[in-house]
Amino acid sequence: MSHTTEQKFMDLLKEQSAYGEAIGLMAWDMRTKAPRKGIEGRSEVIGVMSQKVHEIQTSEKMRHYIDELKGKTQDPMLKRAVEEAEETYNKTAKIPADEYRAYVTLQTKAESMWGEAKSNNDFESFRPYLEKLVEYNRKFADYWGYENHRYDALLNNYEPGVTVKVLDEVFPKVREALSSLLKQIKEAPNQPDPSVLKGRFPKECQAEFSEAILERMGYDFDAGRLDETVHPFAIGLNTNDVRVTTKYDEKDFRTAVFGTIHEGGHALYEQSIDPKLAFTPLADGTSMGIHESQSLFWENFIARSEGFWRNHYELFKNYAPEHFQHLSLEKFYPAVNEVKPSLIRIEADELTYCLHIMVRYELEKALIAGEIEVKDLPELWNQKMEDYLGITPESDSEGVLQDIHWSGGDFGYFPSYALGYMYAAQLNSKMREEIDVDRYIEEGDFHKIKEWLTENVHQYGKMKKPLQILNDITDEGLNPDHLIGYLTNKYKKIYQF
């Protein structure tokens, strides 16, 4: 092994990273600013660029450098980069290059078609694209291999170490606890009045308040921006360009405000990764679940807390319309934390949120296993929503078509939302043992909180695996009791039961 080999390996990773950044920028543009007629051509370009990344990841050069450096370097960062490159090589090399390019092109076209189908409440127009995406994912799972369940191969893309066996043990426990809480809340005598939040709230004012909160959280606007889109997301092009998007609803400010804070949590993670990891595969969140733990921590454990609004309510009223000026905090806080089963996942209250994830998990697990087909989805979706949340969508737009994930082929992704919530609860418990979280929230000083997260989670990027991050911080593996305890204590207080 020589220094030259190390440098050539890093140069190859930098080339791969450069293509990835270009693809990310095009994807951001397609979801925010691109004209509709440009979508098809842009999809082809992304397909070509993605094929180039595929070629780099599976090239003879990459295999050579991995073989030369594996087990021979003492540099921790280089060692992990080699491990990550080898994992990607072994996985990616199993997919023929022409299939990969066709799949990526299909993904981008499907995303565009999903947007139209959702707007037009037309599942049948989207169905052929989704059928092809499912077919590809079944095939890829078989290429990669699995021990017990085909879906495990896809889960591993987003949450290494988590399997169907783990989820099927943890999710029923959480579902039972949430269902019990939901029943008690429905029967509680003290019910918040959500009507106090109604009224037009101009999106320009929502944007100004959202930007003010992002700045207080520590989001660096010199290394990012806030834009409007159909389905909110955050995207890290590099640690100095991490962008946030949101969706405004002038009839309900909660969609944008909490959504922006959620995506801001994702962005803080990416902005705080150690710069030494730049231009390597390690300059990213270690898993979707850990990533989601950061967004849900800020959205729920911080921004939905009583202390947050005690500090920020006056700031909020600076941007809010007239009817909020005479609304007391005592009525406002319970109202923004109302528990009411909703049809739309991204608008769900924090208690019922995980139930939305379980609906999606069970459907896509069955899809990948071949137990159900795409044509069955609308009916099965509606039935599960009735079973778990007691409500039935009146249209596919507010049902099976509401999420963007399947249109991007992201099967195996949804469980990370619920896992992230559980991770966030564990991190919250540990953080409170070490710093005075409530005091910092009430003072509106998030510096120490962000610093704790950066020190324990953010800085490592992919240097640590997700369950290693969790274990190093909390001295235990996945434990849903923290989330169940948090939700029980919070809502017993609000609903007084």
pLDDT in tens, 474-495: 999 999 999 999 999 999 999 9
Q: pLDDT tens across 239-274, in order?
A: 999 999 999 999 999 999 999 999 999 999 999 999
Reading the block at residue 480, the tokens are: 């849903």
Q: Residue range 394-414: average pLDDT?
A: 96
Residue the block writes with tokens 């896509």 = 364
Query: Which residues are CB-neighbours of 31 under 8 A, at least 6 positions away?
Result: 111, 229, 230, 231, 233, 245
pTM for the model: 0.91
Q: Any binding-site annotation on 442?
A: no
Confidence of residue 47 (pLDDT cuts 50, 70, 90): confident
Query: Which residues are CB-neighbours of 358 under 8 A, at least 6 positions away?
Result: 171, 175, 388, 418
The angle that helices 123-144 and 150-158 make with each other, rounded to 10 degrees, is: 90
Residues acting as catalytic residues: 263
Q: pLDDT value at position 161?
A: 87
Confidence of residue 2 (pLDDT cuts 50, 70, 90): low
Residues 423, 426: Cα–Cα separation, whole Å? 5
196: pLDDT strictly greater than 70: yes
Quote the percentage of the chain above a pLDDT of 70: 100
Confidence of residue 277 (pLDDT cuts 50, 70, 90): very high
Q: Residue range 161-171: average pLDDT?
A: 95
Q: Residue range 441-460: average pLDDT?
A: 96
Q: pLDDT tens across 211-245, in order?
A: 999 999 999 999 999 999 988 999 999 999 999 99
At residue 339, the 3 state secondary structure works out as: coil
Question: Following CA atoms 183, 187, 188, 189 in sequence, which dihedral angle do they give, to the nearest 10 degrees?
Answer: 170
Q: Any binding-site annotation on 292?
A: yes
Q: Any binding-site annotation on 262?
A: yes
Please state which architecture CATH assigns to domain 164-495.
Orthogonal Bundle (1.10)
